[in-house]
Chains A and B, each alone.
Chain A
Amino acid sequence: MKALSQKRRHPLAAVALLLLGLLLTGGLYAAATSINEAQASNAADVYSASDVEEGERLFVANCATCHGINAEGSDAGPSLIGSGAAAVDFQVGTGRMPMQMSGPQAQKKPAQFNDEQTMQLSAYVASLGSGPAVPAAEYLDVEEGNIARGGELFRINCAMCHNAAAAGGALTEGKYAPGLDGVESVHIYEAMVTGPQNMPEFTDANIPPEDKRDIIAFLKNNESQSAPGGFALGSLGPVSEGLLIWTLGLALLIGSMVWLTSRSS
């Protein structure tokens, strides 16, 4: 065990662990019946057969190198059997997949596929085994959400990684929790359900869909409002405030001091 923990320090170990973890989770999803199953609608109800077919074609061309020709996984990527449509929609929809480069974690970037292609890929993966589905529109309607309650849930369950103002924060070994500003409601929901990368899962048993809607409503409300006190300095708290007083604050002071003690021409 000691040897393992030492190897864990190796930079590639993080990636290996990540992949291992994804692989395990994927496998478990396929095997175990999870609470999400109730919500995960049968792929055949939502997606047409042609969607699945087109999705498989896209998958083979773009994803199979790492995830295997039948999405059974490989050394380079986890199995997607049982990952569900939500995971695909999140990973592909936010541009994290296909992955640009290996690193501590997949980075957000402009999406590689359009909405239709993403839907087709989701349809294909959903057809492989049951998993969390793309959320229904009613759970994304922020008008219905309770902002205050969402805030409370956010502070207990999310703020420790994503920061109280959702500005993001550091995790171990170079990983990080991204800022949530500008992330689409559907992707926030899907991230909670599927737990991408190292994020824990918040299944519907633990945070019911209505509560997730509250959290999204809280985030969207904050996004729509400007910072009341002026420039928010990245919402990073005392560090950026200290930096400002030692840069701009000090520069303004020194400027006025030098002028004040200089001789007039």
Chain B
Amino acid sequence: MGEHGNGDPSTGAVIKAGEGRSSGYAIDNPGLPPHRPRLADADEKAAKRAERQVSALFLISIIGTVMFFVGYFAVGVTAGDLNMLRLQNTLLGVGVAFAMLGIGLGVVQWARALMPDHEVVEDRKPLRKEEDRAEAAQTVDEILDETQIKRRPLLRNTLIGAALLAPLPAVVVFRDLDRSEDFGPERMRHTLWTEGVRLVRDPTGTPIRASDLTVGSAVHAIPETLREVSGHGDRLAEKAKAVVLLIRMNPDDFEAVTPGREDWKHEGIIACSKVCTHVGCPVALYERHTHHLLCPCHQSTFDAAAEFKVTFGPAGRPLPQLPITVDDEGFLIARSDFTEPVGPTYWERG
């Protein structure tokens, strides 16, 4: 900036919001700059060139449409051949893209190069005139007057009462969005697990022997009784509560056991609900050496060695543990249902 100052920028013009308009600035509004003609305005050759450009773009559009037809009719996609499907999809997409871009860019170039480019000034109309508003207010008053609503409060009050009640059926009629017989939050406390229910592998449904699990194994299990649930929706809803992760650790790795949970494990095998206590994603990622269980949705991390307590992330409670043991044949079974509701916290959980 050198020797010449910049003034004191904080003490310059004060044009308060809304006052400024177009006066009071350092210079007055000089008006629109003079119009500068384009090449095509002055030179017919340039105009012709622009015309050819535009038609070339339209021709490209035609080629694009042809390309679409080639992709649609000439590419034979046999079942399971994804390579040909990809080729077809590309031809369709690029074809439509050329067809559209050809028209679009052509029309725009036409407007830019050949149509008049004089800027036009149009006045803004005041949104409403003062007298209009007064007149409107008067009309409304007159209408109200003619209805006599102010003079007859009985009419007004009963109408208000009726109008308040009338929409209620529109709300109540949605009550049957949930028609289940066991309606209410109580059902969320129970899952299919009860004493003696075998843990079976998901999705094959084979029962699991304790000896099948080596240290470091992780098995995704469901209750054997799940297959007896009829109805796709009910089966999904029951599965959504009952999914369990079975892992086997070195028994020495377990930290202190909460009193009452001593017999919930079988040797080093421990089972927990797979439904995250945060917002319900399946906590399915198991790291065998750190004993971490990780939810891939929001990174809640649970420690399987410490009864699934939360070590990181947004979950607010440990994962519920499923008490397990083995039956006479050596298969893993549940000792009981979960002792607390599984999944995300809800108001009535208590």
Contacts and interface: CB of A to CB of B under 8 A. Distances in A.
The short answer to whether A and B are in direct contact, CB under 8 Å, is yes
A195 B306 contact: no
B82 A228 contact: yes
7 contacts: A25-B215, A25-B216, A152-B203, A153-B204, A226-B83, A263-B112, A265-B38
Nearest to A20: B289
Contacts of A256: 105
Contact of A28 (B83, B215, B289): B215
Contacts of A199: 288
Closest 3 pairs (CB-CB, A-B): A21-B289, A205-B212, A200-B218
B190 interface: no
Interface of B: 36, 38-40, 50, 82-83, 85-86, 89-90, 93, 105, 108-109, 112-113, 117, 201-204, 208-209, 211-220, 247, 250, 255-256, 282, 284-290, 292, 294, 296, 299, 301, 303, 306, 311-312
A175 B286 CA distance: 12
A20 B289 CA distance: 8
A101 to B, nearest CB: 19
Contact of A172 (B204, B218, B288, B290): B290
Contacts of A169: 296
B242 to A, nearest CB: 14
Nearest to B282: A160
Nearest to B115: A264
A171 B287 contact: yes
Nearest to A14: B290
Given A17-B290, A171-B287, A172-B292, A200 B250 contact: no
Interface of B, secondary structure class, is mixed
Interface in A21-61: 21-22, 24-25, 28, 32, 34-36
Nearest to B80: A225
A263 B38 contact: yes
Say which size band chain A's interface belongs to: 35 or more
B117 A200 contact: no
A62 interface: no
Contact of A198 (B39, B289, B311, B312): B289
A199 B285 CA distance: 9
B294 A156 contact: no
Given A35-B214, A200-B286, 20 more contacts: A1-B255, A1-B256, A18-B289, A20-B289, A24-B250, A25-B215, A156-B202, A171-B294, A199-B288, A201-B218, A206-B213, A206-B219, A228-B82, A228-B86, A230-B89, A230-B90, A263-B36, A263-B112, A264-B112, A265-B38
A140 B327 CA distance: 36
Contacts of A202: 217
Contacts of A28: 215, 250
Contacts of B201: 206
Contacts of A8: 290, 311
Contacts of A36: 214
A161 interface: yes
A200 B247 contact: yes
A179 to B, nearest CB: 15
Interface string A70-89: 00000000000000000000
A28 B288 CA distance: 14
Given A28-B250, A263-B112, A264-B38, A203 B82 contact: no
A5 interface: yes
Nearest to B243: A156
Contacts of A259: 108
A229 interface: yes
B290 A198 contact: yes
A226 B109 CA distance: 38
